[in-house]
Structure 1
Amino acid sequence: MNVYIEEQSLFPKSLAISVAIHLLVVVAVVVISRFASAPQFGSKMALQMTFDRTDEVVEQVPQEKPLLPEQPKDDDPSAKKEPSQQPPKPAPKGLIAGAFDAVDSTLLDLEYKETTLNVRMRYSEGWAFLDDKGSSKLDAVTFWNPNVPNSPWVQLRVTDKYLFRESRYKQKEEFDDYTVYYNAEEELEGEVKFEVYLRTETSEDYIITYRVKGMDTFKKYRPVFMAMLKSFRFGLF
């Protein structure tokens, strides 16, 4: 009788202990599952957000770099050098070259021809010439208008090359067939004189002189003289 009573008294206790243990196990499983899943979910989101920000930065940088050369600043050296790339202005022409552009030598109707040096020069209708040939070749030729009381005259002289002194002249102009040396016109006792020296590549040089009385008359006939000078030819042409 005593043993039976002890077995009946132990059954409720063991049942309560078993239930308590199961409850503890269930609570522990729930707690562990919550704490274990939360860090995993949070870490995945953090990594995903970090990667997204990194991708955005990488995509924006290449788009901005090509735009920089298209908008140069005012202090850019290449922008300042642009005006210097323009072609330089042509230098002003000299007295002789400028006169050649202004006159038409074909308006002179007559032409003087000489065979020993193959000299040619045009002159106006109504003018005359007198040439001097010494030792079988031309020394000089003079042109003037006998119908005009105060006629200008133009003289062409052949000169030896060794007599040339460049220091005598202040002006110099280069042309295809010769180089012209000259000074400003000179006025002495009412007569105005203008002389040019033609330095050539041949065995002879030439001096062409223009003389007339009075500065007004000198200016009046100067285009005629320039046209005669422009028409001058020598040697093989």
Structure 2
Amino acid sequence: MISTVGLADGGLVVAGLVLVFFGAALSVYAVALLGFLLGAGGAYTVAPALLGAVGSEGVVGLAVAVVAGGLVGAALAYVALSFATAVPSAVVGAYVGLAVVAPVVTDGGLLRYPVAALGGLAGAVVGVTLTKFALTFVTSFFGAALASGALSASAFRAAREGPTVEPLLVDPLATTPVAGAAVPLFAALFVIGLLSQAGLFRLGWVTRLAAVLPGARALDSKG
């Protein structure tokens, strides 16, 4: 019998692969998916503390909070593409600052949070000014983290139980056993995502997809 955790991990991997290979090409659909995942993940992580404060603990309350957080994230993401791209760009920028840059330039502790804030600010600026590049980078990065298993259901559960962000930090050079070999799966998927999405733009498939998908629109030339 397939466990709930197994289904959740499978869903995260599938969502990650969609973002890796087709993120920027799917335009507002990708932004909405990012918004949903970020909203649901955030709600899943902080909901127990908030629900406990108002006396609404339990599985049902948590499920409602996760779905509501995801829907709010998706709705906000759909409002305006450039603004919506800035939000996940800021999140990923802060994440990169915290997980990748901070360990290099600081010894940990409180100093890593200003680095994360600067990363988030830089990500937001890039998201607004270079929409196409930002969405390609963000969807490849976040998708690779999900598809490689670096951001798994167990990682979100550990972050919720802390609560702490440590289980959600990805080592970009970490290896994953694949067919008996240690493969830097996250890094490989991230690079593949960047290249494949750049290829979709160059071949004109982005415009074709935008013409077919209801409500979608091709990204402008920025980035």
- For the superposition of Structure 1 and Structure 2, which TM-score range results when normalised by the shorter chain? under 0.3
TM-score, length basis structure 1: 0.19
Of structures 1 and 2, the larger Rg is shown by: 1
Higher strand content, 1 or 2: 1
Greater share of residues in helix: 2
Q: Using CA pairs below 8 Å that are at least 6 residues apart, which structure has the higher relative contact order?
A: 2
